[in-house]
Amino acid sequence: MARPPANQPTDGELEILRVLWSTGATSLSDVCEQLRQQREVATTTVATMLRVMLDKRLVKRTGQGRGATWAAAITQKKTARGMVRKLVEGVFDGSADRLATHLVEGGQLSDAQLKELRTLIDQKRKK
């Protein structure tokens, strides 16, 4: 499988970003503790991933050594926008309406979600 572009996180990086989005700035040990609630991870692996993410400007670090804290440098919304754009381009040939049709017809949306989607569409049309 091809690696995501440098500005898009890998699956493992996305796991770390989810921790940072939910907790805010935190230590390496706290990131590892949160990740271990899902699966076993080595602290050295997470530290390496954070350094790579720092180079990719996905995270930022304050301080050095064991006292360092890590925080997301990109928002969840911006990340989601980029990942959805990649999905639309790669799977739906650039057609966002085909993605929306797939979600609606696939039965993956609850009645409440469909109502919210309808409200968003109506608001967008009024603009």
Percent of the chain past pLDDT 90, that is, above it, reads 72
Q: Which pLDDT band holds residue 90 (cuts at 50, 70, 90)?
A: very high
pLDDT band at 103 (very low <50, low <70, confident <90, very high): confident
pLDDT at 25: 97
Hey, where are the domains in the chain?
A: 11-72, 76-126
DSSP states along 88-120: HHHHSTT-HHHHHHHHHHTT-S-HHHHHHHHHH
DSSP 4: P
Give pLDDT tens digits for 105-124.
Answer: 888 888 999 899 899 999 98
pLDDT tens-digit map of 5-57 = 567 899 999 999 999 999 999 999 999 999 999 999 999 999 999 999 999 99
CATH 3.40.50.2000 correct for 11-72: no
| Look-up of token digits 């040939």 | 93
- Average pLDDT of the residues in 69-92: 94
